[in-house]
Amino acid sequence: MAQRIVQVRVLDPEPLLYHAEVLHRDGVAVGYVRAASYGWTLGGAVGLAMVSGGGEPVTPDWLRAGTWEVDVAGVRHQVEVSLRPLYDPRSERIKV
C-alpha cells in the first residue's frame, strides 16, 4: 500500500500532540497526525498518522529505513513509528 496509518510515539516526554502535526521522514513531509493523546504507559505523546510512501509501499522495512520527526509548533522532535501497536503488540500483558 502506498498510504497507511501508522502508530507514532514522540521520544521526548515533554511535547504534546493534538492533531494535524506534520510527520517527516528523512526531512521530507510524508504525512500528518490524525489523532493523538499522551501515552502514560509509553512515557510520551502518541498518535495515529497517515503517511504516504511517495510511490513506494509503506512497509515495516520502509519505516525502519527512515529517520522520523514530527513538527510540534515549529520544533521537530524525533519519533518512533510502527504499523503495529506500540503498547503490548503481542498481548503478553493479558496472558499473565
| pLDDT mean by block of 10 residues, the chain; 96 residues | 94 95 97 96 95 93 96 97 86 75
Specify if 68 maps to a domain: yes
* pTM score: 0.87
Q: What is the domain range of residue 21?
A: 3-85
Cβ atoms 53, 65 nearer than 8 A: no
Is there a domain that residue 93 lies in? no
pLDDT for 88 equals: 78
Distance of CA 3 to the CA centre of its chain: 14
Does 90 map to a domain?
Answer: no
Residue 28 is predicted with a pLDDT of 97
pLDDT of residue 96: 67
On whether residue 14 sits in a domain, the answer given is yes
Give the pLDDT confidence score for residue 51 in this predicted structure.
97
How many structural domains comprise the chain?
1
